[in-house]
Amino acid sequence: METVSVTLQQPIRQFVEQQSRERKIPAQTMVVELIQLGFEALLKEHYQHYRQGKISFGRLAQILGITTWELSHLLEERGWPAYNLPTGT
């Protein structure tokens, strides 16, 4: 895991502070959760482009900054097919 420093804009900072107080978790944990949610949303969006044939498997891996091998495992963890072949009619 890597440590990074970020500056949060006002509404995001307020949200993080409010959620961390309400959930009784450190603000850092809340930020990590938000980043993970954002990653999952982007992954789902780009994965749909791949399944629709708009981008290749290699391009999907490139967008995510990982190897195709890592992408295979990432999709497998979510139970998502790593192929975009059309289903039978």
Condensed to tens digits (0 to 9), the pLDDT of residues 6-57 reads 899 999 999 999 999 999 999 999 999 999 999 999 999 999 999 999 999 9
Number of domains composing the chain: 1
* CA–CA dist 56, 84 (Å, integer): 9
Q: What is the pLDDT of residue 89?
A: 52
* CA–CA dist 14, 17 (Å, integer): 5
Tell me if 75 is assigned to some domain.
Answer: yes
pLDDT higher than 60, residue 59: yes
Tell me if 58 is assigned to some domain.
Answer: yes
pLDDT higher than 60, residue 88: no
Tell me if 57 is assigned to some domain.
Answer: yes
Tell me how crowded residue 47 is: count the other CB atoms within 10 A of its CB: 21
pLDDT higher than 80, residue 87: no
Tell me if 62 is assigned to some domain.
Answer: yes
Tell me if 65 is assigned to some domain.
Answer: yes
* CA–CA dist 20, 2 (Å, integer): 21
Range of the domain at 76: 52-81
Tell me if 30 is assigned to some domain.
Answer: no
Tell me if 72 is assigned to some domain.
Answer: yes
